[in-house]
Amino acid sequence: MRRSRKVKILATLGPASSEEATIRKLFEAGADVFRINMSHADHDLMRTLVRRIRNVERELGRPIGILADLQGPKLRVGKFADGKVSLVAGQNFTLDDQDVPGDNTRVFLPHPEILQSVEPGHRLLIDDGRLALVAEAVDGKSIRCRVVSGTGISDRKGVSLPDTTLSVSALTEKDRRDLDAVLLEEIDWVALSFIQRPEDLAEVRKITRGRVGLLSKIEKPQAVARLDEIIELSDALMVARGDLGVEMPLEAVPGIQKQITRAARRAGKPVVVATQMLESMITAPVPTRAEVSDVATAVFEGADAIMLSAESAAGDYPVEAVATMARIAEKVERDPTYPGIIYAQRSEPEATGADAISLAARQIAETLRLSTIITYTASGTTGLRAARERPQTPIIALSPIVETARKLSLVWGLHCVVTEDARDLDDMVDRACNIAFREEFAKPGDRVIITAGVPLRTPGATNMLRIAYIGTDGLTGI
């Protein structure tokens, strides 16, 4: 099941794709990681999906990553006496703590943290920005606003606060229950929604204690403002363009996408580009030309993964959407301009032995036109460093730990293989050559380059680089 591309595909599971046979088809079409959206999945469904994914993994013999996406705080207004009201630009409209049905002058806001945090001049965007308000007076119990744009509001519409930092945890009580359930399953990544500040991640790290990778969804201006600090505490990032496009000007989102992608690449952290990538394929068998260009842009930027949401979860063509995304990525990566663009964005290595080894491995492999770079990685760090170089040469990541291989399935360019730990240096070279031949990355007479840490089984101690030939029997390293 070798992929013909380096960027990975993250597919969301849902009503259209929850059966085991469909999950297998999605993987065969190109999905590398599956996303379970905890906004829509209860614990029983989550456990069922994990079991089905792991069944497919065992059947096909390839490590598959699973990401559980926590819902995060959902802020909504209360209800109206008539279900909805009409408003006009310039009128006053109040959000308050009175739990009674609203009218065209006010509505209940069941979030005291908003009432206490919003300041005059702050914007409040209702229903994905369809109604825009600006706060004029606040007293901790109500927010008197002026309608800037929009003509109406109805029951339980969402509230976005682009100018306000809320003094509440990014984890709701539902998220805590979901996280406890997720940590009991074979899940590799947890995505955190509506991150505002680094402290949000520190809180979750205390709960997870390294049992899963933490992926921060960047979808609020407050997170963009503190991006470097959030990257430092994250294991991966997601450019969540849906909510980001509500809370920030739409025209700013493409630049922010590039900013986040490049910052994550510099830090050697995986980065996912998400939301509306092939949106029209929810109901159509082919995407628009603009969507194809959007996917291509993310691939040209060197994103580790690109994500499908409703397209694979609830669309009419889930398998076709994955296959289409895979074809776009493959074509982009074969484009003659692709290597130059990726090379121009390459980051300088850090002053560590492991980074120097990874840099040298890429340079040697590309100079000598070696068949593949093979890296032994127990914790995943060496694999991440190899991918950070964005080499033209394929990378095989070997790990004796299945959880590491699953987690690395999100990372650019890594073909992950679970293998027994090497007994000694000679066995390590033989095993690497054997796998490169078996997985069809090299043939007899080809050369490969191997990186590892010596002494063996020492996490984070990458200090060895060796060139080896694939033997005439296709199995023995010489």
Residues 420-444: tens digit of each pLDDT: 988 888 889 999 999 999 999 999 9
Judge whether 176 counts as a catalytic residue.
no
pLDDT at 352 over 90: no
Looking at the structure, do residues 97 and 26 belong to the same domain, yes or no?
no
Q: What is the pLDDT of residue 474?
A: 60
Q: What is the pLDDT of residue 452?
A: 87
Confidence category of residue 463, pLDDT binned at 50, 70, 90: confident
- Please identify which of the residues 3, 54, 74, 76 carries the catalytic annotation: 76
Judge whether 48 counts as a catalytic residue.
no
Within a domain: 441: yes
Domain encompassing residue 261:
8-72+170-336
Within a domain: 478: no
Looking at the structure, do residues 44 and 99 belong to the same domain, yes or no?
no
Average pLDDT over residues 3-24: 98
Average pLDDT over residues 293-313: 98
Q: Please say whether the dihedral angle defined by the alpha carbons of residues 195, 197, 199 and 205, taken in this order, is positive or negative.
A: positive
- Please identify which of the residues 6, 8, 24, 35 carries the catalytic annotation: 35
How far apart (Å, rounded) are the C-alpha atoms in residues 175 and 332?
38
Q: What per-residue string of b and e applies to 158-174 under the rule 16 or more CB within 10 Å gives b?
A: ebbbbbbebebbbbbee
The domain tally of the chain equals: 3
Within a domain: 344: no
Structure tokens, 135 = 């706060």
CATH number, domain containing residue 107:
2.40.33.10
Q: What is the pLDDT of residue 349?
A: 81
Collapse the DSSP code of 18 into the 3-class scheme (helix H, G, I; strand E, B; otherwise coil) and give the result.
coil
Looking at the structure, do residues 221 and 321 belong to the same domain, yes or no?
yes
Looking at the structure, do residues 140 and 234 belong to the same domain, yes or no?
no
What confidence tens digit (pLDDT) does each residue in 255-278 have? Answer: 999 999 999 999 999 999 999 999
- Please identify which of the residues 12, 261, 275, 377 carries the catalytic annotation: 275
How far apart (Å, rounded) are the C-alpha atoms in residues 465 and 374?
10
Judge whether 217 counts as a catalytic residue.
yes
Judge whether 388 counts as a catalytic residue.
no
CATH number, domain containing residue 283:
3.20.20.60
Q: What is the pLDDT of residue 104?
A: 95
HSE toward the beta carbon, residue 255, CA cutoff 13 A:
5
Q: What is the pLDDT of residue 82?
A: 95
Within a domain: 79: no
Within a domain: 375: yes
How far apart (Å, rounded) are the C-alpha atoms in residues 417 and 405?
7
Q: Are 159 and 118 in contact (CB under 8 A)?
A: no
- Please identify which of the residues 123, 217, 385, 407 carries the catalytic annotation: 217
Burial of 470 (0-12, 13-18, 19+ CB in 10 A): buried
What confidence tens digit (pLDDT) does each residue in 397-421 have? Answer: 999 999 999 999 999 999 999 999 8
